[in-house]
Structures are given as structure tokens and as C-alpha cells.
């Protein structure tokens, strides 16, 4: 690769959650919704696209705006947001973008001759009598479309099922005809919501939102966000419209479920909702998901981890890391920005992001290309990076600013012995401090816990 790949895999000032990765030709494209830095709600931006060559997952290219929120005839005034989309390639070789606006229960479709060109509005998914899917009296809410075109049919998966809402039964699959719009087979429930899961095998991990579909070999993988929100789960079947059984958790954006080096129920990052999917790239499988920044739910960034699909079709849960698409640990020498920290927590860890917590943020306004950093660092805050390939590490430097004074304790596990300390002082500009350390060579995590007074900001580290 031209350079190392990090999590998040896009620039630190870009906020593209709900990522649907697709390999078309020799490039991987990510289609998602578009949050704004300091946005007050989800998905305020137009759809943009990034892509990278499958041979270099560090080399992401901005493809520009591919579809504006005002391009939909129902939204010419721009008062509705573009929620999570998906794209599939039709029989005619064109690319079809499926999405739902935030205040209507219909599925819109746009089309383009290329994966990341300018999409044009194409129509609404509708029954043969012309009634739009989602507007029949018996229809349930259309939300978060995931699509797969296969053998002249498009399989459209949708649904949103909140706790306590018995009007929502689960995720649905609707089969569309070759025109990509007309309903060929009415919606069928494929994965239950929490109000209708008794005896299903999905209990505790029922469907909430974020429908996504993939097929590997002869097996269909339905990826979704469970009722717990922070985790992406999967269900498997040999048929696209029925027979799905619960598979397990693929990733949690809090690392709940990971028991290596910590209790399984301990969160090591602040999470909330999650959305993403699996893609096969160069023979390997990856799960794309998102994390939360800026101390709220509305500034989400795309991340990815390599996964395994075992011979029996199972997918073991993977931990969240700083190295993601890198293909291995990061080099044990060099400068690393704080925004690639995968673990961030204080003395009282929390599953859900909120006020009063340390947070990854940036200076400026949305669109300003300012590198991210960790803010609100107070006594007891831990900032963790996984993983580095350490070789002869002799010194660690870190850069801070703000009104915090004291030591950062260096560890290789979140609660392990202190292997070194770096003292920092009050400063209204970025200042760099260092200490000599002795840490054994090998694949290693690094944790920095603030043991001082006040509140500071953490820009990054340098390994020497």
C-alpha cells in the first residue's frame, strides 16, 4: 500500500456512516448517509461517495456528491434527510441507488451509468397497481433499504422495529421485477423484531434497523443492527426470502462481547446505533461499521475490520481496532494522530455516547480539513490504540494542549501495570512531551491514562 490504513478509513473530517461497501470492477466503493460535523440530527448532507483500488485499501478517493437531497421529487424544498442507502447493479449494467427519506415510508430509487457518477431520480418502488410500497394500509414502515440483484430479480430488505412497538414485526424482504421498481412478491418477514421474537433464536439480538444483504457462495448473509443498537449481527439462509437463522454478533462499536483482556460486558468505547455490511476484497472478508464522535449521535465515521467466515458459515466477533484495513498492526515507529484511538473511556465506562465524556472531535466547521483529536481529557480518561508492531521502541512522545497538568500513564492493556509516565503541563498551544520506555517487541496495544488535574486535549503520539 502507498501508506498505512487507519480507522476511520476516510479523512478525520469526513462523516460517512451507514457504509455499504461494494466491489465494482477493480475498486471498492462505499455508499452511506452523510452526517455533518456539529450537525444537530442524523444525515443532514447530500450523498457523497469514496472509493479505493482493491489493491490498496489506504488510497481512498473522494468521488464527490453523487445525489442531492433535493433530487427526489418529494423533497424539492430539501426539508427531509437522505437516510442510509444501498446500491446494486441491474441486468442492464447500470447502478441503482435505493434510499428512504426521513419523513415518508416509501422507497426511492435513483440510477447511474457508473458506480459513483451523478445519479438521477428513477422512481418509487410500487405494487403492480401503482400504489407505492409502504402506502398500502397493511404495509409496515419502509426504512434502511438493503438490495441484491440476482437472476432478473431484486431482493429489497427494509424495516425499523423499536422496542414496545407491536405494529412492527421485523425485517422484510420484497422481491422486485427486472425494472427494479415493480413489486413481484409482496413483503415477507425474514428476521423478527423484539416484540415477536419468542422462540425464534433471535432473542436478545432481534432486528432493529440497518438491513443489508450479501451472498457468498450459496449462502445469504443478512446483516443488521440489533435492538441493542451498538452491534451488527447476522443471520444466514440458503434462500433470500425465508429460512434465516441467527448467526451471531460480527462487531460492536463498544467492544461489548469481546472478552480478551477485559470482561465481555465492559465497553471500551462510547457507542450508539450501528450500520454497515460485509464485502469480499481480494479474497478476504471485511465488516464495515461506524463509530460515534463529537460526544453525540450525529457525527458518525466509517470504520472496518477484517473478519473470518469459517467453513460452517459462522463469523466470529471481531474487536474494534485502530488499524482496520491495514492488513496487520501499524508500524512501531512514527507519528500517529489521536483520532485513530479505538478505545476511549473514563473510570465509569458507558455503552452509549453522551455529554461529559471524552470525545474525538475537530476544530472549525463542517468541511474544514482539520485533523481530529481527543478532547475533554480529565482524570481517569484512557485513550487506547490497537495495534502496533513494536521493534526496539525506546521513547514515546505525546502532544497535548489545554488546562490539564499531570501524568499520562502508559500501559499495554487497559488495566495493566504502568510501564512509563509522561508529564504534561498547562498550555494554550500544542506542546510535545516525551519519556523513555522499555516495552517488549511484538504486536502490542498502547493505552494512555490521564492521572493529572484539569482538562486537556490529546493530539497524538510518536513512537521512537
In this prediction, residue 16 carries a pLDDT of 98
Q: Region 424-436: what's the mean pLDDT?
A: 98
CA 52 to chain CA mean position, Å = 17
Which one of the listed residues 144, 195, 209, 279 is annotated catalytic? 209
- Rounded Cα distance between 244 and 223, Å, is 11
Cβ neighbours for 167, distance < 8 A, ≥ 6 positions apart: 140
Q: Region 286-306: what's the mean pLDDT?
A: 98
Provide DSSP, 2-60.
-S---SSSS-TT----S-EEEEETTEEEEE-----TT-SSS--SPEEEEEEETT-TT--
Q: Considering the chain, what percentage of its residues have pLDDT values greater than 70?
A: 100
Confidence of residue 197 (pLDDT cuts 50, 70, 90): very high
Confidence of residue 229 (pLDDT cuts 50, 70, 90): very high
Domains of the chain, start order: 20-326 (2.115.10.20), 331-463 (2.60.120.260)
Report residue 52 as a C-alpha cell. Answer: 479505493
Q: Considering the chain, what percentage of its residues have pLDDT values greater than 90?
A: 99
- Rounded Cα distance between 303 and 292, Å, is 10
- Mean pLDDT estimate for the chain: 98
Q: Is 154 left (phi over 0), alpha (psi -120 to 50) or beta?
A: beta
Residue identified by cell 460452517 is 312
Which one of the listed residues 18, 86, 195, 319 is annotated catalytic? 18
The pLDDT tens digits for 22-47 are 999 999 999 999 999 999 999 999 99
In this prediction, residue 132 carries a pLDDT of 98
- Rounded Cα distance between 138 and 102, Å, is 20
What are the distances in angstroms from CA 206 to CA 36, 197, 248, 430, 464? 29, 7, 11, 46, 47
In this prediction, residue 349 carries a pLDDT of 86
The pLDDT tens digits for 245-257 are 999 999 999 999 9
The pLDDT tens digits for 100-143 are 999 999 999 999 999 999 999 999 999 999 999 999 999 999 99
Q: What are phi and psi of 457, to 5 degrees?
A: -120, 145
- Rounded Cα distance between 411 and 215, Å, is 42
Judge whether 18 counts as a catalytic residue: yes
Taking the complete model, does pTM exceed 0.95, yes or no? yes
Q: Is 115 helix (H, G, I), strand (E, B) or coil?
A: coil
- Rounded Cα distance between 260 and 240, Å, is 35
Residues 56, 57, 62, CA angle at the centre, nearest 5°? Answer: 100
- Rounded Cα distance between 123 and 241, Å, is 24
Judge whether 407 counts as a catalytic residue: no
Q: Region 404-429: what's the mean pLDDT?
A: 98
pLDDT > 90? residue 1:
no
The pLDDT tens digits for 353-408 are 999 999 999 999 999 999 999 999 999 999 999 999 999 999 999 999 999 999 99
pLDDT > 90? residue 459:
yes
The pLDDT tens digits for 297-351 are 999 999 999 999 999 999 999 999 999 999 999 999 999 999 999 999 999 889 9
Q: Is 401 helix (H, G, I), strand (E, B) or coil?
A: strand
In this prediction, residue 322 carries a pLDDT of 98
- Asked if 43 and 298 touch (Cβ cutoff 8 Å), the reply is no
pLDDT > 90? residue 200:
yes
Q: Region 250-275: what's the mean pLDDT?
A: 97
Q: Is 266 helix (H, G, I), strand (E, B) or coil?
A: coil
Amino acid at each position: 500500500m502507498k501508506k498505512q490504513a487507519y480507522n476511520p478509513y476516510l479523512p478525520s473530517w469526513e462523516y460517512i456512516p451507514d457504509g455499504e461497501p461494494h466491489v465494482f470492477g477493480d475498486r471498492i466503493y462505499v455508499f452511506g448517509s452523510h452526517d455533518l460535523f456539529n450537525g444537530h440530527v442524523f444525515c443532514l448532507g447530500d450523498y457523497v461517495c469514496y472509493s479505493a483500488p482493491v489493491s490498496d485499501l489506504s488510497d481512498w478517493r473522494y468521488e464527490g456528491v453523487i445525489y442531492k437531497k433535493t433530487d427526489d421529487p418529494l423533497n424539492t424544498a430539501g426539508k427531509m434527510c437522505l437516510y442510509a442507502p444501498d446500491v446494486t447493479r441491474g441486468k442492464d449494467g447500470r447502478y441503482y441507488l435505493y434510499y428512504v427519506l426521513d419523513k415518508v415510508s416509501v422507497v426511492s430509487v435513483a440510477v447511474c451509468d457508473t458506480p459513483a457518477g451523478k445519479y438521477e431520480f428513477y422512481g418509487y418502488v410500487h405494487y403492480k397497481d401503482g400504489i407505492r410500497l409502504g402506502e398500502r394500509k397493511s404495509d409496515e414502515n419502509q426504512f434502511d433499504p438493503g438490495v441484491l440483484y440476482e437472476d432478473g430479480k431484486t431482493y429489497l430488505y427494509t424495516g425499523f422495529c423499536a422496542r414496545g412497538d407491536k405494529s412492527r414485526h421485523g425485517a422484510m424482504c420484497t422481491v422486485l421485477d427486472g425494472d427494479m421498481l415493480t413489486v413481484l412478491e409482496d413483503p415477507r418477514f425474514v428476521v423478527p423484531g423484539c416484540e415477536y421474537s419468542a422462540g425464534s433464536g433471535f432473542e436478545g439480538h432481534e432486528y432493529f434497523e440497518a438491513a443489508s444483504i450479501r451472498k457468498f457462495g450459496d449462502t445469504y448473509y443478512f446483516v443488521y443492527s440489533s435492538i441493542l443498537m451498538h452491534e451488527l449481527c447476522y443471520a444466514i439462509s440458503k434462500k433470500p426470502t425465508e429460512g434465516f437463522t441467527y448467526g451471531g454478533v460480527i462487531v460492536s462499536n463498544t467492544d461489548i462481547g469481546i472478552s480478551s483482556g477485559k470482561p465481555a460486558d465492559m465497553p471500551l468505547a462510547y457507542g450508539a446505533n450501528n450500520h454497515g455490511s460485509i464485502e469480499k476484497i481480494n479474497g478476504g472478508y471485511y465488516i464495515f461499521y461506524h463509530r460515534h464522535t463529537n460526544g453525540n449521535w450525529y457525527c458518525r465515521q466509517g470504520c472496518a475490520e477484517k473478519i473470518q467466515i469459517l467453513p460452517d458459515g459462522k463469523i466470529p466477533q471481531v474487536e474494534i481496532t485502530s488499524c482496520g484495513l491495514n492488513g496487520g498492526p501499524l508500524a512501531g515507529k512514527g507519528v500517529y494522530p489521536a483520532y485513530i484511538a479505538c478505545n476511549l473511556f473514563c473510570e465509569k465506562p458507558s455503552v452509549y455516547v453522551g455529554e461529559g465524556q471524552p470525545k474525538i472531535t475537530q476544530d472549525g466547521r463542517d468541511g474544514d480539513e482539520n485533523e481530529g483529536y481527543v478532547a475533554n481529557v480529565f482524570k481517569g480518561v484512557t485513550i487506547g490504540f490497537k495495534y502496533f508492531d513494536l521493534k526496539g521502541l525506546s521513547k514515546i512522545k505525546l502532544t497535548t494542549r489545554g488546562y490539564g497538568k499531570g501524568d499520562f500513564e502508559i500501559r499495554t492493556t487497559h488495566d495493566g501495570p504502568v510501564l512509563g509516565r509522561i508529564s504534561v503541563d498547562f498550555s494554550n498551544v500544542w506542546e510535545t512531551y516525551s519519556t523513555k520506555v522499555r516495552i517488549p517487541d511484538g504486536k502490542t496495544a498502547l493505552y494512555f491514562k490521564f492521572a493529572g488535574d484539569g482538562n486537556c486535549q490529546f493530539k497524538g503520539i510518536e513512537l521512537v
